[in-house]
Amino acid sequence: MITFEAVTKRYRDGTVAVDGLDLEVPAGQTMVLVGPSGCGKTTSLRMINRLVEPTEGTILLDGTDIRTRNPAQLRRGIGYVIQQTGLFPHRTIEDNIATVPVLTGWTRKKARDRARELLTLVGLDQGLARRYPHQLSGGQQQRVGVARALAADPPVLLMDEPFSAVDPIVRAALQDQLISLQAELRKTIVLVTHDIEEAIKVGDLVALFRPHGTLAQLAPTETLLAEPADDYVAGFVGFDRGIRRLSFVRTTGLNLGTGPVLPADATVTKALAAGEPWILVTDPQSGTPRGWADAAKLAALPGDTPLGQAATEPLSHAFTVGTDSLRAALDAAVLSPAGLATGVDSDGRVLGVATFDQLRAAIQAGETARGNAARADAAQVREVPRP
Amino acid sequence: MWSWIPGNASLIWHLTWENLKLGVLSALYGLVLSLPLGIIAARLRWFYPPVLTVFTILYAVPSLALFIALIPAFGLTDTTVIIALTVFSLCVILPNVVAGLRAVPAAVTQAATAMGYGPLRRLVTVELPLAVPVIMAGLRVGVVSSISLASVGQLIGVSSLGYLFIDGLQRSFPTEIYVGLVLVIVLALVCDLILVAVRRALTPWLART
């Protein structure tokens, strides 16, 4: 656990980078520090491993004032990942990853074995072990940076804009990897970013900074979207926060209708009898969706024509009931020619379709439940006792 | 007239060796002095400009004048020549040490600190290795110029290939001058090639160019 107690950083020219910051990062959680440039988020991060010393206030790591620790010793127990990777150009990938284990006295052999394990952990081929950093792509280098930070298995990981220098596709892959690594390792992570999307995606808790180093809001990610503390937070989070919040609402309880769903071997007559403007045609064997048939066009066909022979329009995408969020379901409805979201099970079999009205009902139900949960969470954050 | 060469082989060999010794030792002393000065200069902003000014002025002093200035203290000895040549090679190596250390990316030194390197260990195992290509470029110029300048030492009686120039001129015997000239150039080239090989061995991470 990392605790900031009234921490201020004032530079000699009078600039205040961080102003009376109180912050608690619970063990095993990911805290994202987010805000505009110059808001003190990076300074705050770098005070944790004493790259920057606070002017006033105290930072505690698991209850111990970090000023009582030898800086080099302290840092060996805190992983550090930065945007520019900071890999050592003159060392091979395995020796880069082995840096902290070697500093703490492991034998080179043992440290290199550990480095190879970590290459696998971050999704890289062990064949890269003997390469030099400049021989790797930006995304690969960033993965090596994460592996290097994890090498000595530190309980705390500091990440300063770790994914900002790579293209969006690589960034998304790196974020997904961080989320799955964190699910496995449960480190205490502090991650700095200026990208609110990234904050919402990877964070358990978000600390949103105002310019000049004060906190605008500290809250669990969902609460930040549901209940922004003020106009500054709402503005920073963005006008589509309502839709983004739906990412947190599961589709488990959604009511699905099966009226417009028919297998491809059903006849046009049967489809028209359903009285629906669009018919979702499914595969008779697997139950997977084939596409939407327009009832107006079906009416022009002979009544005994199987639906499989009628023209259909693609449904864009379906959502998996239970695992996908309401955001995915809403997107499926928006993109569907029928305006209906197709829900499937984990095998891709159609379970039914949802109308906008049904989605709205689920959103409102989710909102009530979420609101209660979020208020409880927010109360908890405020009531964390001081050690 | 080329028969002069085999007839004086032992003299030529002796002079070549002396010239090599003067040039290489001076450049190495220059390197050894440049490293601490350069390390301090790369850290302290105010330290470098005055030091650089002093050495630039010294570099502007003609080599013969510097030898003569040192004679009262060190006499007509190897030491006089080596001190002067060390000063000259320091003038070309020091800026490279400073430039090499300053060119180490800030992200790399910051990452090293954040991973728990102390200042000395970081300097020795991260910063200096990364500065090697630039420092070696300075050392190459230092060695070549010292080998070439060492021949001037002959004017104050210190043995070097410069003997062949003076003797050849006095006896109007061009062969001797040509031999001296070729040997100075060959010595410089051979030392330079060795330094290129050393640099490559020290920097396996750099792509071969």
Question: Which residues in chain A touch residue B205, judged by CB atoms under 8 angstroms apart?
Answer: 89-91, 132, 134
In a domain, B44, yes or no: yes
CA separation for the pair B21, B27 (Å, rounded)? 10
CA separation for the pair A18, B97 (Å, rounded)? 37
**Whether the complex's predicted ipTM surpasses the cut of 0.90:** no
List the CATH number of the domain containing B193: 1.10.3720.10
Which burial class, exposed, middle or buried, applies to A302 when counting CB atoms under 10 A from its CB (0-12, 13-18, 19+)? exposed
CA separation for the pair A257, A265 (Å, rounded)? 20
Q: Which residues contact B109 (CB under 8 A, 6 or more apart)?
A: B122, B126, B127
Picking from B101, B108, B115, B120 by the largest number of A CB atoms within 10 A of its own CB, the best residue to mutate is B115
Number of H helices, E strands in chain B: 10, 0
Q: Which residues contact B147 (CB under 8 A, 6 or more apart)?
A: B19, B20, B22, B23, B24, B184, B187, B188, B191
CA separation for the pair B31, A82 (Å, rounded)? 35
Mean pLDDT of A366-381: 55
CA separation for the pair A311, A232 (Å, rounded)? 50
pLDDT given at position B190: 97
Query: Which tens digit of pLDDT belongs to each residue from B154-167?
Result: 888 889 999 999 99
> Residue A375: is its pLDDT beyond 70?
no
CA separation for the pair A287, A348 (Å, rounded)? 8
Domains, chain A, with CATH or none: 2-244 (3.40.50.300), 261-363 (3.10.580.10)
- Starting at the edge strand found earlier in the chain, the sheet holding A2-10 runs A16-25, A2-10, A56-61, A64-65
Whole-prediction pTM value?
Answer: 0.78
Residues, chain A, total?
387
In a domain, B208, yes or no: no
The tokens for A347 are 């095998």
In a domain, B171, yes or no: yes
The overall average pLDDT reported for chain B is: 93
Mean pLDDT of B111-133: 96
In a domain, B141, yes or no: yes
Question: Which residues in chain A touch residue B107, judged by CB atoms under 8 angstroms apart?
Answer: 82, 84-86
| Residue B208 burial (CB count, 10 A) | 5
Q: Report residue A385's pLDDT band, with 50, 70 and 90 as the boundaries.
A: very low
Picking from B101, B128, B205, B209 by the largest number of A CB atoms within 10 A of its own CB, the best residue to mutate is B205
> Residue B209: is its pLDDT beyond 70?
no
Q: Which residues contact A357 (CB under 8 A, 6 or more apart)?
A: none
| Residue A110 burial (CB count, 10 A) | 12
Mean pLDDT of B109-115: 96
Total of domains in chain B: 1
Alpha-carbon gap: A72 to the closest alpha carbon of chain B (Å): 4
In a domain, B197, yes or no: yes
CA separation for the pair B162, B124 (Å, rounded)? 39
From first CA to last CA, the distance across chain A in angstroms is 11
Contact B143, B27 (CB under 8 A): yes
Residue span of the structural domain in which B126 resides: 4-202
The larger pLDDT score, comparing residue A375 to residue B15, is at B15
Query: Which tens digit of pLDDT belongs to each residue from A340-356?
Result: 999 999 899 999 999 88
In a domain, B207, yes or no: no
Q: Report residue A371's pLDDT band, with 50, 70 and 90 as the boundaries.
A: low
In a domain, B64, yes or no: yes
In a domain, B209, yes or no: no
A73 interfacial to chain B (CB closer than 8 Å): yes
Q: Which residues contact B189 (CB under 8 A, 6 or more apart)?
A: none
The tokens for A10 are 């004032």
- Which of A77, A87, A60 has its CA nearest to residue A6? A60
Phi, psi (rounded to 5 degrees) for A322? 100, -45
pLDDT given at position A379: 44
